[in-house]
Amino acid sequence: MKYFRFFNILRCLAEVGLHHQHCGIPIASKERGKKVIKVKLPDFEDARKSDSLSIEEIRAKLKEKGIAPPRNWNEKPLFMSCTGAVVDAYVPPEGDGKISAITGPGMKQMYDFIGKKGKSFMALRRIRDIDYEFDLPTASLKVQDIYIEAQKALAANDEDKLHDLVTEKAFPEMFENVKNKTIVWKFIQQLEHPRIVHIRTAEMGSKDNMFAQITVRLHTQQILAIYDRFGRLMHGSEDTVKDVLEYVVLEKHLTLPHSTWKIHGKIIPDWMPPKESIKKTYYLPDIDKEFPEPPEKSLQEGDSSKESQVTAQST
């Protein structure tokens, strides 16, 4: 009886093993073997020896293992000296400088100007948090001096001085239009005191990198004459004094120590009428060489033939 029970147990175990193999389930011994994972430990002795190896030996060792040698990563710092555009550009009121403040349109302009001062006051507080000595009246007078010096440097083609007075955005816009030209510019007087009408701040990249922009209204009298490369007058006149109303945008890198205000651009409203076209000069060809006059002999022969025809008709 005992042998019969033992035989039944063996038969059951054999059937279970066959069932596991038929279902694709590994046997217990293989599962037990998979519990052990072989970990490749680092060779600390080899790492200690590699400290005394030369660069060529290290490179050869990495080449044997199929590892690319590391490269030195030299990260270059990025410096932004100015913004790329005018932030929230100011829109000048139509008829500014011509409409009196007593009239109805003038009162409406003053009301709109006061209503738009909220953002300018917030930007002014941000500027004064960094630049404690910023004052609107003194800054507006300083802007006029910067504007005059920049115009004189532009007329004299002084690139070094112009770089100190204008930003990198405004320099090509100003200097590209005066190539091969002669400029005569004079400042006569100011008709109204310069006034700051718009203040904005902008952050570039991070909050620690802040720029400030101010829009200044300049109403002055100037003389402007532009001559081409042949010395011919293209625009303006040296004898005519004109009233000029301009809105000049200046920018300052607030977070950069010892930074100064520089001319960043000029606002030209859409309602402004188009300027008069500039007179251009052209090369005139030598007409006498291209179209020479006929010789005198041919003219005499032609006259004699006409006279003979006239006599023949009369007869």
Q: Is the pLDDT of residue 285 over 50?
A: yes
C-alpha pair distances (Å), 59 with each of 42, 236, 249: 19, 71, 57
Cα 116 to the center of its chain, rounded Å: 27
Q: What's the rounded Cα separation, in Å, for the pair 286 and 300?
A: 27
Q: Is the pLDDT of residue 78 over 50?
A: yes
Mean pLDDT to the nearest integer, 212-240: 89
Q: What are phi and psi of 24, to 5 degrees?
A: 85, 10
Q: Is the pLDDT of residue 214 over 50?
A: yes
Burial grade of 6 (CB within 10 A; 0-12, 13-18, 19 or more)? exposed
Contact 210, 128 (CB under 8 A): no
Q: Which long-range contacts (CB under 8 A, 24 or more apart) does 90-94 make?
A: 90/197, 90/198, 90/215, 90/247, 90/249, 90/267, 91/267, 91/269, 92/217, 92/247, 92/267, 92/269, 94/269, 94/271
Mean pLDDT to the nearest integer, 281-307: 60
Mean pLDDT to the nearest integer, 38-67: 81
Mean pLDDT to the nearest integer, 99-117: 62
Check: pTM over 0.75? Answer yes or no: no
Q: How many residues does the chain have?
A: 315
Q: Is the pLDDT of residue 148 over 90?
A: yes
DSSP 13: H
Q: What's the rounded Cα separation, in Å, for the pair 118 and 268?
A: 23
Mean pLDDT lowest for which of 87-96, 170-179, 203-212?
87-96
Q: Is the pLDDT of residue 315 over 50?
A: no
Q: What's the rounded Cα separation, in Å, for the pair 84 and 280?
A: 32
What confidence score (pLDDT) does residue 220 get?
A: 92
Tokens 């179209």 sit at which residue? 291
Contact 81, 167 (CB under 8 A): yes
> 10 Å Cβ neighbour count for 187?
15
Contact 211, 254 (CB under 8 A): yes
Cα 270 to the center of its chain, rounded Å: 22
Mean pLDDT to the nearest integer, 289-294: 66
What confidence score (pLDDT) does residue 247 get?
A: 92
For the record, the structure tokens of 267 come out as 């606002």
- Crossing angle for the helix pair 117-130 and 104-115, to the nearest 10 degrees: 40
Q: Please, what is the average pLDDT of the chain?
A: 78
